[in-house]
A = this chain, B = another copy of it.
Amino acid sequence: MPTDIEIARAAKLQPIGAIAAKAGIPDAALQPYGKYIAKVDTSAIGDFASRPDGKLILVTAISPTPAGEGKTTTTVGLGDGLSRLGKRTMIALREPSLGPCFGQKGGAAGGGHAQVVPMEQINLHFTGDFHAITSAHNLLAAMLDNHIYWSNELGFDARHVAWRRVMDMNDRALRSLVSSLGGASNGFPREDGFDITVASEVMAIFCLATDLADLEARLGRIVVGRRRDKSPITAADLKAPGAMTVLLKDALMPNLVQTLEGTPAFVHGGPFANIAHGCNSVIATRAALKLADYVVTEAGFGADLGAEKFFDIKCRKAGLKPDVAVVVATVRALKMHGGVARDALSAENLPALEAGLSNLARHVENLRKFGVPPIVAINHFTSDTAAEHALIQNFCRNHLGVEAVICQHWERGGAGTEELAAKVATLVESGEADFAPLYPEALPLREKLEKVAREIYGAAGISADARVSARFAELEAAGHGDLPICVAKTQYSFSADPTLRGAPSGHVVPVRELRLAAGAGFVVAICGDIMTMPGLPRQPAAERIHIDANGQIEGLF
């Protein structure tokens, strides 16, 4: 099997104008970035706003292994499968982060024969959106410290500055630092640090904003610090949102690319799936719904985190009504949930597989709580056996009342997902969906979190010490009680303990900290260790990435 980059390179790409035409986007609405990428100015599409919306298909997953279960490849493969069935289809994905490309994980544009291309550009600078977000974020930080330097008229309590800096790089040395050293002309020394760009609240805002005016208003609401009397200071107080919006103006247009099989895809925005909501921009999803009859999108991590936030944050706020949820599962991960060690996952093990199905079952039942009909996609691995597949399919049919379809998109592209595509289309057209968020906005923050913990995680409840309890009260008193909750916890378990596989019950979810993201419009509940600035591994991929004698990029995967 050739590598991802070799498959991508061997593909014959269509000019982006041809892909746009397929999606009904006129040339006048395209801002090309090279021959195969374009930003789309939807205001240049005549009757755009008045068009009816297509159907929305969410691809989510069981609780994953560290390698991931193939949500992105399944999203791409399903899109290609629907296209093969003659459906007018678009895909909406997140943009990959540059930092991890140089670490361990490699790129994030799909894999095998289910990729969006050109994969090198998408995985590297792409159209510069993340650089724009980095610049906007850091401009606000520079204006903040500059304000304190010259006058501090706003009265910042420098011990409580709530705006770190960001860089799109895995760089642990920047996690925690003391800045403004070196004397009076460099400012007042204080504790500071960097997060990776995808963890920036500007990224979350970018992905939830509906237009430039909404973007600027949201940026203005960012709380960057507080005074000694605890009153908040916002980005608007620093007069930063105008310039930040100017920096983000072009970036906010969605990026159009294609799959290896020529299905149009928007790849736009990429908030972290832990500290933020983990799905592509509202602007891209909405645009895709205007352009296509079927839109396939994904949300980060397993369904307990990704789908829940997709529904309770993105769909609620953007008025989206998802029609189907595809739950990606692998035989390997299910065996892991059944207790098999990582180095024994390739051997057939039906008892462990059966035990691990508890994880899949919980996710499927959870999705129904949102009124979204589920279907299971078994992402095929060469080590899978027919008996294992049959076990999953029978369990799903008999115990869960859902279809489980084997998918071979990684090896065969859209031809490997035709069955899944046909069944998804049938489910979409059944009109079974009746979406509603899990909780109403009016529910107090603490009760929202309790409800998610009980009904989605199977927990007995949450625990919060006096400090966190006071913070709940403080946020309610400050008028933020109607915001949705964005849970930051491990993706490996329904619990906050990454080693608890399967479908644990009765556990307690410890809330360590609450962070207000007033611009994004949610309250982050941090439950466990959350890393917002990754490090590089001992042998970073960067050591192997290079341009070969033929001018081709090698080592990016």
Contacts and interface: CB of A to CB of B under 8 A. Distances in A.
A173 B142 contact: yes
B135 A540 contact: no
A246 B547 contact: yes
Interface in A139-166: 139, 141-143, 145-146, 149-151, 165
Given A31-B35, A32-B34, A150 B538 contact: yes
A441 interface: no
Interface in A503-521: none
A233 to B, nearest CB: 15
Contacts of A181: 175-178
**What number of copies of this chain does the assembly contain?**
2
A135 B131 CA distance: 9
A243 B178 contact: no
A499 interface: no
Interface stretch (A70-78, A182-190, A201-209): A182-190
A239 B250 CA distance: 35
Given A131-B125, A143-B540, A242 B555 contact: yes
Nearest to A138: B169
A238 to B, nearest CB: 8
Contacts of A32: 32-35
A146 B172 contact: yes
A156 B182 CA distance: 24
B242 A545 contact: yes
B180 A178 contact: no
Contacts of A250: 34, 121, 125
Nearest to A43: B551
Contacts of A239: 542-543
A124 B246 contact: yes
A185 B167 contact: no
A523 interface: no
A544 B242 CA distance: 7
Interface residues of A, number: 76
Contact of A139 (B132, B186, B212, B542): B542
Contacts of A555: 242-243
A535 interface: yes
A128 B134 CA distance: 12
Contacts of A185: 172, 535
Contact of A179 (B134, B135, B167, B177): B177
B243 A545 contact: yes
A172 B145 contact: yes
A542 B173 contact: no
Interface string A438-459: 0000000000000000000000
Contact of A240 (B139, B170, B179, B542): B542
A250 B125 CA distance: 9
A456 B553 CA distance: 45
Interface string A515-556: 000000000000000000001101011111111000101011
Contact of A124 (B167, B173, B193, B247): B247
Interface string A91-107: 00000001000100000
Contacts of A546: 216, 241-243, 245-246
A419 interface: no
Given A35-B31, A125-B128, A179 B169 contact: no
A17 to B, nearest CB: 11
Nearest to A188: B173
A249 interface: yes
A181 to B, nearest CB: 4
Contacts of A540: 143, 146
Contact of A212 (B33, B180, B547): B547
A168 interface: yes
A542 B136 CA distance: 11
B151 A171 contact: no
By Cβ-Cβ distance, the 8 closest A-B pairs, closest first, are A242-B546, A176-B182, A131-B131, A243-B542, A145-B173, A239-B543, A142-B171, A243-B545
11 contacts: A131-B134, A139-B169, A141-B173, A146-B172, A146-B540, A172-B187, A175-B182, A175-B186, A176-B182, A216-B547, A240-B543
